[in-house]
Structure 1
Amino acid sequence: MNTCPNCGNEVIGREGKKFCSAYCKSNYHYERNKEKENTLFKRIDKQLKTNRKLLKSFNKAGKSTIRKEKLLKEGFDPKYFTHYWKNSKGEVYLFCYEFGFLSKRDEKGIEKFILVQHQAYMN
């Protein structure tokens, strides 16, 4: 007696038949492929969550500055953000949810990120 790998019911029919119905066969393969699949959406969501986590961990005070290379080395990717905010000077802060960053060069030419946390006046 064979049992269906999808639902566990008895499989009736020809010898070697694995599934009790066409639905179970389709559902079984759909669920297996869904687990394996590394979709674009999943990759983007994972990177956004990584970016948010890093921005939060390096910005304990609400506003801070960090070398760009250090954040990139940790896995930060500035191409992934959820929205932006433009200040009165015309500078554009990119945000990953409630944590934002602005890319700047200091007087020595070193690239840095200014990290901020979203404030009510930024709406």
Structure 2
Amino acid sequence: MRFHKECLHCKNQLVGRTDKKFCDPQCKSAYQYQQAKEQPERFYNKVDNQLKLNRKILKEYNKGGKVTVRDEILKEKGFDPNFFTHYWKNQKGDVYLFVYEFGFLKREEHNIGKYILVKWQDYMQKNIPT
């Protein structure tokens, strides 16, 4: 006895094995892509995407090694200071948050929020606890 089944993607009638689900590899790929898009974004992907965006923004604005930028400019681009990879504390007690090799420190001057952007330096390695 033969069952008439449809392709899960294009709904064409399938010919061949009884356990076949797709008419060709393109339909299988399109179906899996469609299923993945309908799934909510995984937490890991959200964090990874935000870290990548933060790094890209910090790299774009920190061409000189140490720069001051208004926080509204970075936030307009999608920067989120809650996502960082590590931190470094200087001798004054300021804590710089880093996204890989690009760091930032939040400052308030004359009621205007700013970020001091820095790039990781070799001397910063000395202050990391082991």
Q: Indicate if the aligned counterparts of 1:2 and 1:10 stay in contact, CA closer than 8 A.
A: no
Say yes or no: does 1:52 pair with 2:55: yes
Q: Pick from 92, 96, 102: which aligns with 1:93?
A: 96
Say yes or no: does 1:10 pair with 2:11: no
Give the % identical residues.
48
Instruction: Please tell me the residue identity of whatever aligns with 1:85.
Output: W
Instruction: Please tell me the residue identity of whatever aligns with 1:79.
Output: N
Instruction: Please tell me the residue identity of whatever aligns with 1:48.
Output: L
Say yes or no: does 1:69 pair with 2:72: yes
Distance in 2 (CA, whole Å) between partners of 1:34 and 1:101 is: 38
* Cα 1:40–1:33 shift into 2, 3 Å: farther
Q: Deviations over 1:50-93 (max 9, x none)?
A: 00000000000011000011111110000000000000000000
Instruction: Please tell me the residue identity of whatever aligns with 2:54.
Output: N
Please give the secondary structure, in 2, of the residue aligned with 1:48.
helix
Q: Indicate if the aligned counterparts of 1:3 and 1:11 stay in contact, CA closer than 8 A.
A: no
Equivalent residues, number: 110
What TM-score, normalized to structure 1?
0.75
Where does residue 35 of structure 1 map in the other structure?
36
Q: Indicate if the aligned counterparts of 1:100 and 1:117 stay in contact, CA closer than 8 A.
A: yes
RMSD: 3.0
Distance in 2 (CA, whole Å) between partners of 1:83 and 1:34 is: 35
Structure 1 consecutive aligned stretches of length 4 or more whose deviation exceeds 6 Å: 1-5
Following superposition, the deviation at residue 4 of structure 1 comes to 7.2
Distance in 2 (CA, whole Å) between partners of 1:80 and 1:111 is: 18
Distance in 1 (CA, whole Å) between partners of 2:6 and 2:117 is: 57
Q: Structure 1, unaligned stretches of length 5 or more?
A: 21-27
Where does residue 24 of structure 1 map in the other structure?
none
